[in-house]
A and B are shown apart, each in its own frame.
Chain A
Amino acid sequence: MILFELKADSRGLDELPSTGPYATYVAGHPDGRITRRSSFNFGAYQGGIAGFGRVRVFGDEIFTPSAGYNMHPHHNFIIMAFVLKGALTHINTLVKVDTLMPGDYYAFSAGSGGKHCELNVEREDLNVLYLWMLPNRLHAPPSYARGRFDFSSDKNRIVPLAGFGGGLELRQDLKVSRLFSDAGRAYPYPTRSRAHGSYVFVIEGEATVDGRTLGRRDSIALAEADSFEIAAAHDGADILIVETIRS
């Protein structure tokens, strides 16, 4: 069953300049800005879908050179970031300074409290996907881990990045996977149970999911199925799958 389909252009759009009321929140040169496309309600964008299962935030963000979020606190949420383009400098209270490149991702479980700062210190735009999940308990000890999706060895298979399928541990009934595929291949995705739902987001290329054609940055949410199929239409189709308990 398809719960909703979200076209790239119908996502929320927030422009966060480094000047004016955002000056304490957004770092950078006066021309610096962050452009945030939100799949779910977040910040000023409140006109859409509230969330999906345990997911509350799914942000597709572009940081211009020098832009970033100044140091700010978090609690409880499990925050994942997936670098798509550019380099992310991540200064945080758990591992100090970390640099993530395309394919790299982190899982920061804020738990009882942590702070971080995320910057683009390079001369090209930075594109990051952010995924925020509710935790399964409040005020757990904070944790930080990182992983890497390898576009060569991880090609043409659905690779678990975090959660119950393998990869980084998540304190939640949730699984994040990624598929980087050549054209003309199809993949069954067996779900953990019919109580789980899946949010499928096309990072690059075009894919057919459960019979629906999705373009770049389009997404779809599916539920109440034992499995569904993802087919790659073009070489380099890059797809993120978030499977979550829906209750």
Chain B
Amino acid sequence: MKKYLCLGCGFHYDEALGLPEHGIAAGTLWTDIPDDWVCPDCGTPKHRFEMVEISY
């Protein structure tokens, strides 16, 4: 399970957690999120997220 950080605002997507409040179930892989998805906080496109290995 990987984590991705929005380079526009710092919002992060954790595959393990998903974003149930935005209709993305826990366990959803990044590659299974549509290419036209954007950051729910700032609108930055999916391709401007960076995979990060930073723990909580």
Residues of A within 8 A of B (CB): 41-43, 46, 56, 72-77, 110, 134-139
Is B27's beta carbon under 8 Å from chain A?
Answer: no
Residues of B within 8 A of A (CB): 3, 5-12, 41-42, 48, 50, 52, 54-56
**In the complex, number of A-B residue pairs with CB atoms less than 8 Å apart:** 42
- A73 near B41 with CB under 8 A, answer yes
Contacts of A136 in B (CB 8 A): 54
13 interchain pairs (CB within 8 A)? A42-B7, A56-B50, A73-B11, A73-B41, A75-B11, A75-B12, A76-B5, A77-B9, A77-B10, A134-B54, A135-B54, A138-B3, A138-B56
- B10 near A74 with CB under 8 A, answer yes
Complex Cα distance, B50 from A175, in Å, reads: 23
CB-CB under 8 A for A76 and B7, given A134-B54, A138-B56 = no
Taking chain B's interface residues, is the majority helix, strand, or loop, or is none over half, making it mixed?
loop
CB of A176, distance to nearest CB on chain B (Å): 19
CB-CB under 8 A for A134 and B52, given A42-B7, A75-B10 = yes
Contacts of B48 in A (CB 8 A): 46
CB-CB under 8 A for A72 and B9, given A135-B54, A138-B54 = yes
CB-CB under 8 A for A138 and B55, given A75-B12, A76-B10, A77-B10 = yes
Complex Cα distance, B55 from A121, in Å, reads: 39
Which of B3, B12, B54 has its CB near the most chain A CB atoms (within 10 A)? B54
Q: Chain B residue with minimal CB distance to A46? A: B48
Contacts of B9 in A (CB 8 A): 72-75, 77
Contacts of B10 in A (CB 8 A): 74-77, 110
